[in-house]
């Protein structure tokens, strides 16, 4: 039988999304799939609900604290992380558990990603097996608005520098254009969405697993840089499909999110971006201007709401 593949699902109070994700994973065929849920310090009540959801989907699954060694018979795991380690740190807990159990690749999948094709993982695995230098495989991925999230675009220096201008002109928050025309055959891509992709275990070992110096955001840019530096590549299979049922308002206010993103972007440019200190400084100014615009828009929205509430009260 083919070597096992792991699916790592990183959760944080994901009670509404997790059952849909687990249903799609439990229905996978043609692969020996080991499902590893890593809970990133959710509320106790939410964690209890998700443990029950996991046990319902995988009755033979085992619930453990992160760091505990499961028995060799435990194929499906729910690992309780007692601190929020962020995207990379949380996924690394699951990926390292998968490596210890002999899995040759890992499907990194957010709990809000839904898969209906029972041969989805098998299809991605074929791309990984076909070429030993394929580090990452992905599928088409649409959000709830129907926009394509794969492949992603990595902005050049000028484009990133002008983000405040673009935001002011378009009234959008760092929007990314979606691909309108999909290929008909598998193609190499330079960047994939971090919500759902398959990555080779030998490549993960090569890079020392995901970079935990960023808590959230810019993981896709870092992975792109690591794949390029190693001389490997990423592949997209357009005939495979997943839905990213993400709600943008689920991560808190935009100002706080941008601050986290800006720090991750600073770290990315410092280590992986290839720009000197002068260009890094220019991009830092650009981020500060963008933050000012976001704050201004948030204040305008708050004042507008107060004004409308005042009219209603009168």
Flag whether pLDDT at 241 surpasses 50.
yes
User: In which band, very low, low, confident or very high, does the pLDDT at 67 lie, cut at 50, 70 and 90?
Assistant: confident
The Cα 53–Cα 21 span in angstroms is 11
Half-sphere exposure of 53 (CA within 13 A, CB side): 22
What is the reported pLDDT for 22? 98
Under 8 Å between Cβ of 202 and 100: no
Flag whether pLDDT at 170 surpasses 70.
no
User: In which band, very low, low, confident or very high, does the pLDDT at 167 lie, cut at 50, 70 and 90?
Assistant: confident
The Cα 235–Cα 128 span in angstroms is 8
The Cα 207–Cα 213 span in angstroms is 14
Paired tokens of 83: 């601190």
pLDDT, one tens digit per residue, over 130-162 is: 999 999 999 999 999 999 999 999 999 999 999
pLDDT, one tens digit per residue, over 175-218 is: 555 445 788 899 999 999 999 999 999 999 999 999 999 999 99
Burial class of 37 by CB neighbour count within 10 A (0 to 12, 13 to 18, 19+): buried
Spatial neighbors of 195 by CB under 8 A, at least 6 apart, are 109, 110, 112, 113, 141, 149, 244, 246
Flag whether pLDDT at 311 surpasses 80.
no
Q: What value does the mean pLDDT take over residues 70-77?
A: 85
pLDDT, one tens digit per residue, over 91-121 is: 999 999 999 999 999 999 999 999 999 999 9
* Residue ranges covered by each domain of the chain: 5-249
Mean pLDDT of the chain: 90
Flag whether pLDDT at 251 surpasses 70.
no
Please give the share of the chain, as a percent, with pLDDT higher than 70: 89
Assigned architecture for domain 5-249: Alpha-Beta Complex (3.90)
User: In which band, very low, low, confident or very high, does the pLDDT at 173 lie, cut at 50, 70 and 90?
Assistant: very low
Question: Of residues 69 and 45, which shows the higher confidence score?
Answer: 45
Under 8 Å between Cβ of 268 and 287: no
Which of 171-175, 194-198, 286-290 is predicted with the least confidence, judged by mean pLDDT?
Answer: 171-175
pTM given for the model: 0.90
What is the reported pLDDT for 51? 98
**Main-chain phi, psi angles of 101, to 5 degrees:** -90, 5
Q: What value does the mean pLDDT take over residues 259-275?
A: 94
- Which of 287, 154, 140, 286 lies closest to 223 in space, CA to CA? 154
User: In which band, very low, low, confident or very high, does the pLDDT at 174 lie, cut at 50, 70 and 90?
Assistant: very low
User: In which band, very low, low, confident or very high, does the pLDDT at 71 lie, cut at 50, 70 and 90?
Assistant: confident
Flag whether pLDDT at 20 surpasses 50.
yes
| CA 88 distance to own-chain centroid | 9
Under 8 Å between Cβ of 236 and 149: no
What is the reported pLDDT for 248? 67
What is the reported pLDDT for 179? 47
What is the reported pLDDT for 106? 98
Flag whether pLDDT at 278 surpasses 60.
yes
Q: What value does the mean pLDDT take over residues 254-275?
A: 92
What is the reported pLDDT for 303? 66
């Amino acid at each position: 039988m083919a070597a096992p593949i792991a699916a790592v699902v990183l959760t944080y109070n994901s009670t509404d999304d997790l059952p849909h994700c687990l249903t799609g994973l439990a229905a996978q065929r043609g692969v020996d799939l080991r499902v590893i849920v890593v809970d990133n310090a959710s509320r106790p009540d939410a964690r209890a609900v998700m443990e029950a959801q996991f046990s319902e989907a995988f009755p033979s699954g085992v619930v453990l604290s992160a760091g505990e060694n499961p028995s060799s018979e435990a194929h499906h795991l729910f690992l309780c992380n007692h601190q929020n380690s962020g995207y990379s740190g949380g996924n690394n807990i699951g990926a390292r558990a998968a490596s210890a159990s002999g899995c040759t690749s890992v499907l990194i999948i957010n709990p809000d990603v839904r898969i209906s094709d029972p041969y989805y993982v098998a299809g991605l695995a074929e791309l990984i097996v076909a070429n030993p230098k394929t580090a990452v495989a992905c599928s088409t991925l649409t959000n709830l608005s129907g926009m394509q999230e794969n492949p992603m675009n990595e902005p050049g220096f000028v484009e990133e520098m002008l983000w405040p201008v673009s935001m002011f002109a378009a009234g959008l928050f760092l929007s990314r254009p979606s691909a309108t025309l999909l290929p008909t055959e598998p193609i190499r891509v330079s960047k994939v969405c971090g919500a759902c992709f398959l990555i080779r275990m030998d490549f993960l070992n090569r890079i020392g697993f995901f970079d935990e110096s960023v808590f959230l955001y810019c993981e896709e840019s870092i992975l792109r840089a690591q794949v390029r530096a190693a001389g490997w590549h990423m592949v997209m299979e357009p005939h495979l499909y997943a839905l990213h049922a993400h709600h943008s308002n689920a991560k808190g206010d935009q100002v706080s999110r941008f601050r986290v993103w800006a720090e991750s972007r600073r770290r990315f440019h410092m280590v992986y971006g290839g720009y000197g200190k002068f260009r890094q400084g220019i991009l830092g100014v650009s981020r500060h201007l963008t933050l000012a615009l976001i704050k201004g828009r948030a204040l305008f929205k708050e004042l507008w709401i107060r004004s409308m509430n005042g009219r209603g009260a009168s």
